Chain A
Amino acid sequence: KNQVEQSPQSLIILEGKNCTLQCNYTVSPFSNLRWYKQDTGRGPVSLTIMTFSENTKSNGRYTATLDADTKQSSLHITASQLSDSASYICVVSSGGSYIPTFGRGTSLIVHP
């Protein structure tokens, strides 16, 4: 069964600090991996997409990494801001399915 596990479940950091969120998956065959950001009360929005051949991809202060061999991804947030407070969801698509597999998300709170 395809699964996506995210850790930690929740995280509290101070403004200006860096943090890293983890995503482990067992989806096969692998097609791509996305990180979504979901602000409170809103729908998720895609941050990055990574395919099998990509190791690192950046989107401003967000940097995603992918290790396809160990089936792990991370999302690193640099110099956090209050607006980074949100849930971050890892989603893995399989080449053999119409339905991507969602992780349960990591809830990030950035305190001033």
Chain B
Amino acid sequence: EAQVTQNPRYLITVTGKKLTVTCSQNMNHEYMSWYRQDPGLGLRQIYYSMNVEVTDKGDVPEGYKVSRKEKRNFPLILESPSPNQTSLYFCASSFAGGQYEQYFGPGTRLTVT
């Protein structure tokens, strides 16, 4: 089954404790992105990757890191999480760029206390 998977689905952590949210897709897609969703602010892109080893900042990259060592995986790293990073996070992928249909993962609910 074609899908985007994320882990963990739920995470509660404390300020400053490094964490990684994994994302994997099995559709051989070139593009992958991370979004966060917040009430009243909607969905905003954090980082995106056009291909292996090619990543760039989206609209709200501060406090996040990403890497794309393999085509299928695109982990999101929070080196020192803060409470303002409490949010619902989505990974997405598409064949190539915005002109193709995008597929989203199930989301990761992160709470930073």
Is the pairing of A and B real? no
